[in-house]
């Protein structure tokens, strides 16, 4: 039997991973500290507040008049009404005996004084439609389904109105304004200006053409520069508009120049028309400071390494998505500390091209054993790391090495420079379509493009396919002035999802995007195809995928799978996509449409991370008590002193964890039938988490990404060291590390491993190392150290656990030696060889898993802490079952 025993044998909270990546974002809110006369919840009753027109008797008349005027004008910062179609505006308001009007101003002169709105160019009366909102509107915007519908009169010049400041207002019969608000425009913009034509820069033999979608802009100019910084523009070119798209054509000599758009547009966050200066959303290159778009023809032969166009024919073979195994890695982690890499290549793209470096030799071992895909953390243009290396700051490692293993001095020195060093995970996107400049030898010009392609080519030739980590759920910048803002400068209020008061949602961390809007979805799809075709990427991982609509994800899969070698230079049918299907924030429970959550994606063959098996293996969740134990970390069988309740309760928790793990090992299939710890025959979907939701959600094995560790939270070795009793020895912890990875490696579905799992990687117990520098994120492919005990982890995310962490770091017996690291690597490689020794470990259908996978040691008499699995092949005992493995009739 295939037997997986808890090391001591003789729940499910989704990992909201990127909530750790950033400090709280500031986003547009009313500038005055005023009490809000209404609820800000997502589901709101009809609001019945009024604009105050009286003066307080307790203050001077003059002061009160100013205060009321400010309060009234601040209402215009809110956008609580929605212009949803050309003829319909939705507003959650009580009309009463009043009248509803739409007001516009071409120069943003609208203001409120004495309960009247002033400065309008047009005042248009609206009529309530008692039939309510049309069904298609409710489907697109389910969060406003109870709103009243107001009809606009025919014959209006809607396209011109959309370029103005806009307000809807309720007037009483005495012509006093009782209520007013701004409008959210994505619905009407989608109806009138959805566009599938060219965008960005396009090159011909004679000319360079620019296209920008900006239907609310009043004017757009392109500033053309010869150089990446400094100097005045060589040209300022006005663009002409047609159906919301601004375009111009320039001479061929523009190629190799830089440009910036000046967009004159009304911005709801300032209540003014602003001149916004922005990069092209479809930029393919950038200047080193990120402020100018580089005009390059990405199809130019000069940007292609030798053999680039034929790389599709050199890709490592992939017969089925079920054959995938994924190794997650950060570009800088890979080589920043590798002395076998020349100094100018360390931490960058070109380090992957050095075939005899320690890191590349390590990847070759993984590839030879069976790893198929390397997942690279964000490689697009992100904020948080200056692309200009001369601006980076470092701490002398000899100083850091001089401190004790449990000192707080290392983290103090690292965090003092953490925003001006070379390190960040990169989950703070600025432009999705440009490789990050800090990883290139020269961030100006075409170098980042050429070197990125060399990296992809080298990894493919090492036997590894490449997955890019995409972050389409949010953006780093917003507003008209933020240096990192792009999309919100060009069409303010469109690309970013807003709440019912009109302010930007930030449940992902900051500046949530709105894939339910047509041109947001289009940008995402175009960007994916761009990376697949122009960089020959083999897969995409979607950060916080649950914040993207399911329809967008399905279209993404279809768009990629339509790519053909003959036409596009890539085989799109081999591109796999997966992501974090967590269901929270404003999108939870399909609050903004059917989102790409774990349950909603069932059967799409779009993978989602299985947090159930992670939590059952390790114990608790990333948001629970750090000492809560699980299957491998000693629950019941070797307690660590944490209160798990009575022995009976701990026994029940362990049995439940075993049920969860068994469901996960069967690819987390919702219809997989097993015998649970109570002796009941149940489906995977009938096994429940501690929160009462089903454990299983998958309909096919490639719906599931099984993992026990990732870049988020502590490394596997660290969490094992934290949760296991302090008095066990390091060899036992190493065996536990191996047991955890073995569960993942031998499960049905797609296994996912964090870089360093196989060499006992430590981050000195840092639970969120996104900005912890090279020091805490070090990887050592010489296998001399696993980076344990390099100081207390950074205070911001870890201080509350310092009392638990400090004695562990101070104890030298916790630190593995080289012999432990080498043994862990050998064990991991052997696990991979076992997985790829038989197709029975990589079954392709739910039926095959149900027919062939069986769990033993189940029911109320089970032996605690022992999971026993067998996988059947066609043989005499199983007539009619096709034979898949020519060597084995059963794995047990």
Catalytically active residues are 543, 580
CA distance 892 to 890: 6
Tokens of 154: 């025919």
Supply φ then ψ for residue 183, to 5 degrees: -120, 145
Residues in the chain: 892
Joined together, the tokens standing for residue 700 give 């096919």
From the list 888, 881, 878, the residue with the least C-alpha distance to 840 is: 888
- List C-alpha distances in Å: 622 to 288, 618, 651, 753, 787: 37, 10, 22, 17, 22
CA angle 725, 709, 329 (to 5 degrees): 135
- Least Cα distance to 77 among 501, 409, 658 occurs for 501
**Torsional class of 588: left (φ above 0), alpha (ψ -120 to 50), beta (otherwise):** beta
Helix, strand, coil share (%) of the chain residues, nearest 5: 30, 20, 50
Residue 118's CB is within 10 A of a number of other CB atoms, namely 12
Strands (E), 39-136: 81-85, 88-91, 99-105, 111-113, 116-118, 122-129
Distance (Å, whole) CA 581 – CA 542: 9
CB 201 within 8 A of CB 280: yes
Place of tokens 């915007």: 141
- Of 306, 874, 315, 851, which is closest to residue 575 (Cα–Cα)? 315
103 phi, psi to nearest 5 deg? -120, 145
From its phi and psi, is residue 827 left (phi > 0), alpha (psi between -120 and 50) or beta? alpha
The 3-state DSSP class for residue 334 equals: helix
The residues, any chain, with a CB within 8 Å of residue 396's CB and separated by 6 or more, are none
- Identify whether the C-beta of residue 266 lies closer than 8 Å to the C-beta of residue 258: no
Asked whether the beta carbons of 408 and 374 are under 8 A apart, the reply is no
**Two tokens at 358?**
């320690």
* Residue entry with tokens 């758009």: 261
* Per-residue DSSP letter, 312: G
């Amino acid at each position: 039997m295939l037997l997986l025993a808890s090391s001591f044998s003789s729940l499910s909270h989704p990992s909201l991973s990127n909530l750790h990546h950033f400090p709280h974002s500031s986003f547009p809110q009313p500038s005055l500290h005023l009490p809000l006369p209404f609820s800000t919840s997502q589901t709101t009753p009809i609001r019945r507040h009024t604009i105050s027109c009286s003066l307080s008797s307790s203050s001077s008349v003059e002061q009160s008049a100013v205060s009321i005027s400010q309060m009234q004008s601040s209402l215009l910062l809110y956008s609580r009404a929605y212009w949803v179609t050309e003829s319909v505006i939705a507003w959650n308001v009580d009309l009463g005996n009043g009248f509803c009007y739409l007001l516009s101003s071409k120069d943003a002169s609208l203001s409120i004084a004495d309960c009247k709105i002033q400065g309008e160019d047009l005042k248009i009366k609206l009529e309530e439609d008692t039939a309510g909102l049309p069904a298609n509107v409710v489907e697109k915007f389910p969060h406003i389904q109870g709103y009243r519908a107001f009809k606009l009169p025919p014959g209006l010049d809607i396209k011109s109105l959309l370029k103005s400041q806009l307000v809807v207002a309720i007037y009483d019969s005495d012509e006093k304004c009782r209520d007013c608000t701004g409008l959210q425009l994505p619905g009407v913009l989608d109806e009138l200006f959805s566009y599938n034509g060219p965008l960005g820069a396009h090159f011909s033999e004679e000319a360079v053409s620019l296209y920008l979608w900006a239907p609310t802009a009043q004017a757009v100019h392109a500033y053309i520069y010869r150089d990446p910084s400094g100097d005045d523009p060589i040209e300022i070119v006005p663009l002409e508009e047609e159906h919301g798209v601004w375009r111009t054509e320039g001479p061929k000599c523009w190629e190799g120049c830089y440009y910036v758009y000046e967009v004159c547009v009304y911005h709801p966050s300032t209540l003014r028309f602003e001149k916004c200066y922005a990069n092209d959303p479809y930029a393919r290159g950038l200047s080193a400071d990120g402020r100018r778009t580089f005009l390059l023809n990405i199809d130019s032969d000069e940007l292609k390494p030798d053999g680039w166009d034929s790389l599709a024919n050199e890709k490592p073979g992939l017969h089925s998505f079920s054959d995938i195994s994924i190794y997650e890695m950060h570009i800088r982690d890979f080589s920043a500390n590798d002395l076998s890499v020349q100094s100018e290549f360390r931490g960058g793209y070109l380090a992957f091209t050095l075939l005899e470096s320690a890191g590349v030799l390590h990847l070759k071992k993984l590839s030879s054993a069976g790893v198929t895909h390397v997942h690279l953390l964000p490689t697009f243009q992100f904020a948080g790391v200056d692309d200009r290396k001369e601006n980076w700051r470092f701490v002398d490692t000899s100083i850091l090495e001089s401190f004790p293993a449990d000192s707080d001095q290392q983290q103090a020195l690292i965090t003092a420079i953490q925003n001006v060093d070379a390190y960040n995970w990169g989950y703070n996107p600025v432009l999705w379509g440009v490789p990050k400049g800090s990883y290139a030898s020269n961030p100006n010009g075409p170098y980042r493009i050429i070197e990125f392609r060399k990296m992809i080519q080298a990894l493919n030739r090492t036997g590894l396919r490449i997955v890019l980590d995409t972050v389409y759920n949010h953006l780093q910048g917003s507003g008209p002035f933020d240096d990192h803002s792009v999309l919100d400068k060009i069409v303010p209020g469109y690309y970013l999802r807003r709440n019912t008061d009109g302010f930007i949602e930030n449940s992902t961390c900051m500046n949530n995007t709105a894939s339910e809007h047509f041109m947001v979805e289009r940008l995402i799809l175009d960007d994916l195809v761009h990376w697949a075709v122009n960089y020959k990427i083999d897969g995409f991982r979607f950060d916080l995928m649950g914040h993207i609509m399911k329809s967008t994800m399905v279209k993404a899969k279809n768009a990629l799978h339509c790519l053909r070698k003959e036409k596009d230079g890539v085989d799109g049918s081999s591109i796999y996509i997966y992501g974090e299907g967590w269901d929270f924030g404003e999108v939870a429970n399909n609050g903004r449409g059917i989102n790409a959550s774990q349950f909603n994606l069932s059967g799409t063959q779009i993978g989602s991370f299985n947090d159930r098996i992670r939590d059952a293996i390790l114990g608790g969740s990333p948001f629970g008590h750090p000492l809560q134990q699980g299957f491998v970390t000693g629950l019941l069988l070797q307690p660590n002193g944490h209160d798990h309740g009575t022995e009976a309760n701990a026994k029940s928790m362990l049995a439940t964890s075993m049920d969860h793990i068994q469901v996960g090992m069967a690819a987390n299939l919702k219809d997989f039938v097993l015998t649970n710890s109570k002796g009941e025959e149940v489906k995977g979907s009938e096994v429940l988490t501690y929160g009462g939701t089903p454990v299983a959600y998958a309909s096919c094995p490639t719906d599931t990404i099984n993992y026990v560790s990732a870049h988020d939270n502590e490394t596997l070795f660290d969490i094992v060291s934290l949760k296991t009793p302090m008095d066990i020895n390091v060899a036992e912890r190493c065996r536990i590390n191996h047991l955890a990875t073995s569960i993942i490696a031998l499960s049905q579905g797609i296994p996912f491993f964090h870089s360093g799992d196989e060499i006992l990687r430590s981050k000195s117990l840092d639970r969120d190392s996104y900005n912890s520098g090279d020091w805490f994120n070090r990887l050592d492919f010489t296998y001399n150290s696993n980076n344990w005990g390099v100081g207390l982890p950074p205070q911001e995310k870890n201080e509350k656990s310092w009392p638990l962490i400090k004695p562990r770091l101070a104890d030298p017996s916790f630190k593995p030696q080289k012999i432990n690291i080498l043994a862990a690597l050998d064990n991991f490689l052997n696990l991979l060889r076992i997985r790829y020794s038989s197709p029975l470990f990589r079954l392709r259908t739910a039926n095959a898993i149900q027919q062939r996978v069986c769990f033993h040691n189940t029911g109320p008499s089970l032996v605690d802490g022992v999971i026993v699995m067998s996988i059947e092949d066609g043989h005499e005992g199983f007539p009619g079952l096709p034979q898949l493995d020519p060597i084995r009739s059963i794995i047990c």
